[in-house]
Chains A and B, each alone.
Chain A
Amino acid sequence: MSHATTPLAELSAITKVYPNGVVALRGVDLRLRAGEIHALLGENGAGKSTLVKVLFGLEEPSDGVVRIRGHERASHRPADAIAAGIGMVHQHFQLIPSLSVAENLVLGDEPTRRGMLDRAAARRLCIDLGERHGIHLDPDARVGGLAVGDKQRLEILKALRTGADVLILDEPTAVLNPHETERLLETARSLTMNGTGIVLITHKLKEVMAIADVVTVLRGGQIVAHVDRADTTIDELAVAMVGRDVNRPTPDRERMPGDIVLEITGARTSGPGRGRLRGVDLALRSGEILGVAGVEGNGQDDLIEVVAGLRPLAAGDVTIDGETLRRRSPRERRRAGVAHIAADRMTRGAALHASVADNFVADRFSRRPFSRRGWLRRRAIDAAARDAVDRFDIRTDSVQTGVASLSGGNIQKVVVARELDGVPRVVLAAHPTRGVDLGAMARIHEELIAARDRGAAVVVVSSELDELRQVADRIVVLSEGAIVASFDEPTDATDEELGRAMAGAAA
Chain B
Amino acid sequence: MSELLTTAFLIAALRAAAPILIAAMGSVVTERVGVPNIGVEGMMLAGSFTAVVVAIEVGNAWVATGAAALVGTMLALVLGFVTVRWGADAIVAGFAINVFAAGFTVLLLSEIYGSKGSLVRPDISVLPVIELPVADVPILGAVAGQNIMVWVAAALVGVSWALLFQTRFGVHVRAVGEDPDAARAVGIPVRLTQYRALAFGGFTAGLAGAGLAIGYLSSFTRDMTAGRGFIALAAALFGGRHPLGAAGAALLFGAAEAAGNRLQGQGIPSQFVLMLPYLVTAVALAAISVRRTVAERRSLTRVEAA
Q: Encode A110-124 as 1/0 by CB contact (under 8 A) with B.
A: 101001110000000
- Distance between Cα atoms of A315 and B55 in the complex (Å): 72
CB closest chain-B residue, reference A78: B185
A94 CB contacts on chain B under 8 angstroms: 179, 181-182, 185-186
Decide yes or no: A275 and B305 within 8 Å by CB, A107-B171, A112-B168, A117-B166 being known contacts: yes
Contact flag A96-B178 (CB < 8 Å), given A147-B306, A272-B301, A275-B305: yes
Q: Are A117 and B167 in contact (CB under 8 A)?
A: yes
Q: Is A108 an interface residue (CB 8 A)?
A: yes
**Residues on B with beta carbons closer than 8 Å to the beta carbon of A112:** 167-168
In the complex, whether A171 has a CB less than 8 A from a CB of chain B is no
Q: In the complex, which of the residues B175, B301, B304 contacts A96, with contact meaning CB atoms closer than 8 Å?
A: B175
Looking at the assembled complex, report how far the CB atom of A20 sits from the nearest CB atom of chain B, in whole angstroms. Answer: 23
Residues of B near A275 (CB, < 8 A) are 301, 304-306
Partner of B183, one of A96, A103, A301: A96
Roughly how many angstroms separate A276 CA and B301 CA in the complex, as a whole number?
9
Bound: A433/B171 CA distance, A: 38
Are the CB atoms of A273 and B182 closer together than 8 Å? no
Q: A110's contact among B171, B181, B183, B301, by CB below 8 Å, is which?
A: B171
Q: Is the CB of B304 within 8 A of A273?
A: yes
Residues in A with CB closer than 8 Å to B185 are: 90, 94
Question: B183, B187, B304, B305: which contacts A109 (Cβ < 8 A)?
Answer: B187
A158 to B182, CA, bound (A): 12
Docked CA distance A79–B306 (Å): 36
**Chain A hits for B188, CB < 8 A:** 107-108
Tell yes or no: A367 within 8 A of B by CB.
no
A60 at the interface (CB under 8 A from B): no
Residues of A within 8 A of B162 (CB): 116
Contact with B along A281-309 (1 / 0, CB 8 A): 00000000000000001000110000000
Q: Taking the complex as formed, is A127 at the interface, i.e. its CB lies under 8 A from any CB of chain B?
A: no
- Whether B171 and A273, one on each chain, are in contact in the complex, defined by CB atoms closer than 8 angstroms, is no
Given contacts A107-B186, A108-B187, contact A272 B305 (CB under 8 A): yes
Q: Which residues of B contact A134 (CB under 8 A)?
A: none
Chain B residues with CB under 8 Å of A107's CB are 171, 175, 183, 186, 188
> Please, how many angstroms separate the alpha-carbon atoms of A458 and B30 in the complex?
50
In B177-221, the 8 Å CB interface with A consists of 178-179, 181-183, 185-188
Let me know if B174 and A98 touch, CB within 8 A: yes
**Taking each of B167, B170, B305, which has the highest tally of chain A beta carbons within 10 Å of its own beta carbon?**
B305
A-contacting residues, B145-184, CB 8 Å: 162, 166-168, 170-172, 174-175, 178-179, 181-183
Give the distance in Å from the alpha carbon of A115 to the alpha carbon of B84 in the complex.
Answer: 27
Query: Is A160 close to B, CB under 8 A?
Result: no
Closest-CB distance, B169 to chain A (whole angstroms): 10
Minimum CB distance partner of B189 in chain A = A108
Q: How far is the CA of A275 from the CA of B181 in the complex (A)?
A: 32
Is A272's CB under 8 angstroms from B181's CB? no
Contact pattern, B 129-145, Cβ under 8 Å of A = 1, otherwise 0:
00000000000000000
Nearest Cβ in chain B — how far from A184, in angstroms? Answer: 18
Verify A273–B166 contact, CB threshold 8 A: no
Q: Are B167 and A115 in contact (CB under 8 A)?
A: yes
Select which of B175, B181, B301, B304 is within 8 A of A99 by beta carbon: B175
Is the pair B186, A98 in contact by a Cβ cutoff of 8 Å?
Answer: no
Task: Determine the chain A residues whose CB is within 8 A of the CB of B172 once the complex forms.
Answer: 108
A95 at interface, CB cutoff 8 A: yes
Bound-state Cα–Cα, A108 to B168, Å:
8
Contacts of A116 in B (CB 8 A): 162, 166-167
User: B167, B170, B186, B305: which contacts A271 (Cβ < 8 A)?
Assistant: B305
Q: A138 to nearest B CB, angstroms?
A: 16
Cβ A99 vs Cβ B171 within 8 A? yes
Q: In whole angstroms, what is the CA distance A116 to B172 when docked?
A: 13
A136 CB to nearest chain B CB (Å): 20
Contact: B305 with A110, CB < 8 Å?
no
Residue A195 is within 8 A (CB to CB) of chain B in the complex: no
Report B-chain residues with C-beta under 8 Å of the C-beta of A163: none
A433–B188 alpha-carbon span in the complex (Å): 36
Q: What residue of chain B has the Cβ atom nearest to residue A112's Cβ?
A: B168
How far is A385 from B305 in the complex, measured between Cα atoms in Å? Answer: 37
Contact of A117 among B168, B183, B186, B305 (CB under 8 A): B168
Q: Assess whether A117 is in contact with B302, with CB atoms less than 8 Å apart.
A: no
Q: How far is the CA of A97 from the CA of B299 in the complex (A)?
A: 13
**Which of B162, B187, B188 has the most chain A CB within a 10 Å cutoff?**
B187
Q: A115, A117, A274, A297: which contacts B171 (Cβ < 8 A)?
A: A117
Decide: B175 and A273 in contact? CB cutoff 8 A.
Answer: no
A109 to B185, CA, bound (A): 12
- CB closest chain-A residue, reference B301: A271
Q: A273–B300 Cα gap in the complex (Å)?
A: 12
A21 to B185, CA, bound (A): 28
Contacts of B175 in A (CB 8 A): 96, 99, 107
A114-B285 Cα distance, complex, nearest whole Å:
39
Note all chain A residues with C-beta closer than 8 A to B305.
Answer: 271-276, 297
Q: Which residues of B contact A108 (CB under 8 A)?
A: 172, 183, 186-188
A204 CB → nearest B CB, Å: 23
Binding site for A on B (CB under 8 A): 162, 166-168, 170-172, 174-175, 178-179, 181-183, 185-188, 301-302, 304-306
Provide a sorted-by-A list of 29 A–B residue pairs whose CB atoms are within 8 angstroms: A79-B187, A93-B182, A94-B186, A95-B179, A95-B182, A96-B179, A96-B183, A97-B178, A97-B179, A99-B171, A99-B174, A99-B175, A107-B186, A108-B172, A108-B183, A108-B186, A108-B187, A109-B187, A110-B168, A112-B167, A115-B167, A117-B167, A117-B170, A117-B171, A273-B304, A273-B305, A275-B301, A297-B306, A302-B304
Q: A117-B167, A158-B186, A275-B306 are in contact. List 4 more A-B contacts (CB 8 A).
A: A94-B182, A94-B186, A107-B183, A116-B166
